[in-house]
Amino acid sequence: MNAKELKTVLEGLIKSKIPTFLWGSPGVGKSSIVAQIANENKMEFVDLRLSLLDPTDLRGIPFFDKEEKTAVWAKPEFLPKSDSLSKGILFLDEINSAPPTIQAAAYQLILDRKIGEYSLPINFAIIAAGNFESDRGVTYRMPTPLANRFIHLNFDVDFEAWKEWAIKNDIDKKIVSYLSYKSENLFLFDPKSNQKAFATPRSWEYVDKILKSNIPFNLLENVISGAIGKESAIEFLNYSKVMNEIPNIDDILNGNEVVIPSKNSALFGMCVGIVYALKKDFNIEKLTNILKFTLSLNDEFSMMLIQDMQRGGINLELSPYWKDWVDAHRYLISI
C-alpha cells in the first residue's frame, strides 16, 4: 500500500483497536505516518523503541508490599495510565529488532491489552512497525505466536503519494521538481550495498531542512551527500541550476506572456514553482491566469500542473474559467 492508502486503512484499524504491524524498508516514513494520524486526530502518541528495552522495563520492577506480604509490580512510567480515558496510540517501533525476550514480554500486552498487573487504557490502540528481514538491519525472526497477534500491512514507496504530502508540507520546490523529473530517485535503498547514505523519503526531508539552514552553497554538496549519497547529491544540485532557466513565475500568475522552456527539466521546475507561488499568495484572478496558461503547455504538463494544484489543496472550481478548462480537456479526463 502507498502512504495515502495506508493512512486510510490505519485510521479504521486504530478506531477499531485492532493490533497492526507495519512493514517497510528504512526511511519510508513508517513512524511518521502513525504520528501524523495521532496528531490529526488529537490522540496521545506513545512511541516505544522496544529494541532499547529490557523485559523488566516493559513488565515493571517488583517490590515488596509489607502489608500484604506480596510482590507488587511497579508499572513503567513511560506507559499511559490505565485509568486514562484519552484516545491514543501505543506505537511499538522496531519490534522485530528487539531480542526474543522482549518480544515475548510484548505478547500479552498486544493480545490481551495488559501485562502483569498493568492494563492498557480502554481508548488506546496498538500499532507496531519494523523493517523487512531482507533489509540487512538488526532484526530477529518474529515468533509465529507474536506474528499471529497482528494484522500485517506493507508500506510501499509511491512517488505520487509522496508528492501530495510534499506539496502540502512545503518541501523545497527544487526537491519536488527534481523528483517529479526523476521520480525513481525518491527511494534508492539497496540492501546489498554498503553505502551509508542513500535516498529515501526521510533523507529527502533532511535535504529540505539542509536547504533551509543557510549552509554556504560551496559546502552543500558534502552535506547533502551525507543525506542521500554523493551521486544523488551531485545530480540534484546540477538539476537545481535549471531553476534559473524558468520564466518569471509572477509574470505567469499575473497573466503576462512568457517564453515557455523547451527542456522537460525546466518545465517540471516551472510547474512546481507555479503551484508553490499560488499557494503562498492565492487569489482567484491568479488561479484563472494559470488555468489559461496551461492551454499553452502540452497535454502532459498541463495535466501535471492541474493535478499538482489539487494535491496542494487548491480548489480549482473557484475560478470561473475552470469549466472552460474542463471542456477543452474532455478528451483527456472524465469529470
Choose the final residue of a domain: 117, 132, 154.
Answer: 154
What string of DSSP letters covers 144-172?
Answer: HHHHTTSEEEE----HHHHHHHHHHTT--
Q: 264 and 216 in one domain?
A: no
Neighbouring C-beta atoms of residue 18, cutoff 10 Å? 14
pLDDT mean across residues, the chain: 89
Q: 18 and 90 in one domain?
A: yes
| 24 contacts: CB under 8 Å, gap ≥ 6 | 30, 129, 131, 132, 154, 155, 156
Q: 168 and 149 in one domain?
A: no
What cell does 170 get?
A: 512545503
Choose the final residue of a domain: 128, 154, 180.
Answer: 154
What is the count of structural domains for the chain?
A: 3
Q: 148 and 123 in one domain?
A: yes
Q: 126 and 23 in one domain?
A: yes
* Mean pLDDT in residue range 304-331: 90
Q: 327 and 255 in one domain?
A: yes
Residue pointed to by grid coordinates 526523476: 182
Q: 122 and 232 in one domain?
A: no
Q: 236 and 256 in one domain?
A: no
* Mean pLDDT in residue range 116-145: 83
User: Computed over its alpha carbons, how large is the radius of gyration of the chain?
Assistant: 25
Q: 255 and 145 in one domain?
A: no
pLDDT tens per residue across span 236-286: 999 998 888 899 999 999 999 999 998 899 999 999 999 999 998 999 999
Choose the final residue of a domain: 117, 134, 154.
Answer: 154
Q: 128 and 64 in one domain?
A: yes
pTM beyond 0.75: yes
The residue that leads in pLDDT, 131 or 213, is 213
Contact between residue 297 and residue 329 where contact means Cβ atoms under 8 Å apart: no
**What is the model's pLDDT at position 333?**
64
Domain containing 110: what range?
3-154
> Regarding beta strands 61-65 and 114-115, do their DSSP bridges make them parallel or antiparallel, or are they unpaired?
unpaired
Closest CA to 205 of 10, 21, 3, 62: 3
